Amino acid sequence: MSKPAVLFVCVHNAGRSQMAAGWLRHLAGERIDVRSAGSEPADQINPVAVEAMSEVGIDITGAVPHILATEDVRDSDVVITMGCGDACPIFPGKRYEDWDLTDPAGQPIEVVRQVRDDIRARIEKLITELDPT
């Protein structure tokens, strides 16, 4: 069986989706294919999100916001949206989840840390569902 592919989508692909992708890569390693995209990508990653992730030893500085393409959704097994709602195309047979997370844009580091930790808990649950080993 091929490894599952997870796509994280938020509007700017600069905070929540990048932190989620960072956590999933860190915690699942090569067992899960990780993608992220945005319906209206920003020109760079949120520096406070980068700082919050670096505090837990995860480097997302190399990540670049990416425009959401239909192929991204079609080629993923699980699509997790974070406040982009109807911007995401729907394909039959895919698993869709919407994570209601605070947008870290413009928030102080204390708030971004809470978002980071909330995302980690959701990622840990997702990994156990996708890869029980």
Residue 9 has pLDDT above 80, yes or no: yes
**pLDDT at res. 88:** 66
pTM for the full predicted model: 0.94
User: Tell me: the pLDDT tens digits for 75-98?
Assistant: 999 999 987 666 666 777 889 999
If one counts the domains in the chain, the total is 1
Find out whether 57 and 23 touch, Cβ atoms under 8 Å.
no
Per the annotation, the verdict on 125 as an active-site residue is: no
Q: What is the domain range of residue 16?
A: 5-128
Per the annotation, the verdict on 104 as an active-site residue is: no
What CATH number corresponds to the domain at position 24? 3.40.50.2300
Q: What does the alpha-carbon distance between residue 7 and residue 75 come to, in Å, rounded to a whole number?
A: 9
Is residue 38 in some structural domain? yes
Please compute the mean of the pLDDT values over residues 70-79 and round it to a whole number. Answer: 93
Identify the active-site residue in 7, 9, 10, 52: 10
Per the annotation, the verdict on 88 as an active-site residue is: yes
Please compute the mean of the pLDDT values over residues 106-116 and round it to a whole number. Answer: 97
Is residue 45 in some structural domain? yes
Is residue 18 in some structural domain? yes
Is residue 133 in some structural domain? no
Residue 1 has pLDDT above 60, yes or no: no
Q: What is the mean pLDDT of the chain?
A: 92
Q: What does the alpha-carbon distance between residue 52 and residue 114 come to, in Å, rounded to a whole number?
A: 9
